[in-house]
Amino acid sequence: MDVYFHFCFIFRIQHPAGGYKKIFETCGELNEPIPAIVVGVIPEWLSGSLLRLGPGLFEVGAEPFYHLFDGQALMHKFDLKNGHVTYYRKFVKTDAYVRAMTEKRVVITEFGTAAYPDPCKNIFSRFFTYFKGIEVTDNCLVNVYPVGEDFYACTETNYITKVDPDTLETLKKVDLCDYLSVNGVTAHPHIESDGTVYNLGNCFGKNMSLAYNIVKIPSTQKDKSDPIAKSKVLVQIPSSERFKPSYVHSFGMTENYFVFVETPIKINLLKFLTAWSIWGTNYMDCFESNETMGTWFHLAMKDPAKYIEHKFRTSAFNLFHHINSYEDDGFIVVDLCTWKGHEFVYNYLYLANLRENWEEVKKAAMRAPQPEVRRYVLPIDVHRVSFGKNLISLPYTTATAVMRSDGTIWLEPEVLFSGPRQAFEFPQINYSKFSGKNYSYAYGLGLNHFIPDRVSIARRRELVVHYPTLIRFMIKTNLLIVIQGVRVLLSIVVNPGADQRPGYLLILNARDLTEIARAEVEVIIPVTFHGMYKP
């Protein structure tokens, strides 16, 4: 009797959306767009396409992918027109995907999954295959963004993939190394109103030491030539370690400055170049934490492009997403979604962990670095100051910056939001109007022990609203759209336990998160990471 009661107790202690594991399962392409059932009324002025990217293939034949960032790229599209909605999805036909499907095995090493030589080859062929060098993945499952009149899906390597946003067809693979001195770039470029694209990636600097290049891709060319062909490096930022660049997922940009946060999550380049070719190492095997460096903030001017030699330092944290950065009265305000400590958060995002029962997911989240939304403030002019005094005079923040005797400036943040194992992540702002400027609202995806299950809105420095009825569902994304002065929030939602129409596009009033409408489809939609709205 006791055993039976205990057995039932285990299964009752579950996340309310007990089928959350379904968002980490393989799904197929659609042959054509499928119509959605609209509940409510979609404003007729809301017309365009929501494009999203994420993993859609979690195994090839008998070989599984092991990490959340390994599955092969699947592109999703919700089309909205005249109050009607259709949903469509196709795999991006990258080299990684095409070769995997052809050979029915993992052919190119992914983030947390190593590829091994063809077992059908003889031992000598397999041996020499190991020494062919590093074959970098082009599995562009993270984001999609415009360059000129074209659209590119991306990951964080040197490869981006040109796609057709209407048909979702794969058009061309582009190697940025053909145009720029970078080993890879972030999945979160900044795009100005004229279409100019800025990004950041690590590179080999002076004396073969590592550095970071901020690069610029110009806007659409009058002669219709490819803007990527006219890309250039604007400014170089030194690395804290000669052969160990930090992992970078995003960076900040104000009207006049670039903000780069160098975290203690390091890529061991020697391991990357040697062990990879010999033992089949994957990307995750090459990460390590520097337990002593803390976190460094770097500033660079945009025009004229120039690195600023200030030495900003603070305690260790992980960083994946900048919320916004802006200038105010001689200071730069930097708002970040951080994870405390130097242990790499991605260590907890293996699919085996995410597919565990809810109690085990919660235990892992308790061991992991804890999330915290922070505001840092950097003084621009630090030449005439006294040691030991707070340099920050903005009246609305408690963040501090203190000059130390060794010339470093120690930063302490203002904590904006903090909840144990409750993250405000994947932030969105009214980007076209407030990127790089003082702003009032931010929207985030609520991660409950790493599982996305709510939408949050932050007003000023207060987390004021959750969209509460979504607690039983999986929220996949938030995207803020502003048309004719009206703010709406688009979210892809999955109800894993629904008998009918388990996936839908949710349209919320961005002011108070009240529901405007939803567009339901008869398919499960797997996890997505980032994307864009194309009017």
Q: What angle do CA 448, 523, 348 make, to 5 degrees?
A: 30
State yes or no: 298 annotated in a binding site: no
d(CA 196, CA 215): 11
Tokens of 353: 């962990």
SS3 230: helix
Counting Cα atoms < 13 Å in the Cβ hemisphere of 82 gives 0
CB-based burial label for 130 (10 Å; 0-12, 13-18, 19+): middle
d(CA 277, CA 55): 26
- Encoded amino acid at 29, one letter: E
451 alpha-carbon distance from chain centroid: 15
535 alpha-carbon distance from chain centroid: 22
Instruction: Please give, one letter per residue, the 3-state secondary structure of 457-491.
Output: EEECCEEEEECHHHHHCEECCCEEEEECCEEEEEE
Any idea which residue has 């299964």 for tokens?
11
The rounded radius of gyration (Å) of the Cα atoms in the chain is 23
Q: Which residues are paired to 435 by β-bridges?
A: none
d(CA 509, CA 156): 33
123 alpha-carbon distance from chain centroid: 40
Any idea which residue has 């129409």 for tokens?
501
Is residue 245 reached through a cis peptide bond, with omega within 30 degrees of 0 on the bond before it?
no
Residues in the chain: 535
State yes or no: 466 annotated in a binding site: no
d(CA 457, CA 450): 18
Pick from 179, 184, 324: which is nearest to 257 by CA? 324
Phi and psi at residue 128, to the nearest 5°: -70, -25
Q: Are 259 and 325 in contact (CB under 8 A)?
A: yes
Pick from 205, 228, 204, 202: which is nearest to 216 by CA? 228
Strands of the sheet containing 371-379, edge to edge, are 317-328, 331-340, 371-379, 414-417
Any idea which residue has 């901020």 for tokens?
214
State yes or no: 530 annotated in a binding site: yes
d(CA 339, CA 423): 9
20-54: burial string, b at 16+ Cβ within 10 Å, e else: bbbbebbbeebeeeeebebeeebeeebebbbbbbb
Q: Are 146 and 134 in contact (CB under 8 A)?
A: no
Name the binding residues. 188, 249, 321, 530
Name the binding residues for Fe cation. 188, 249, 321, 530
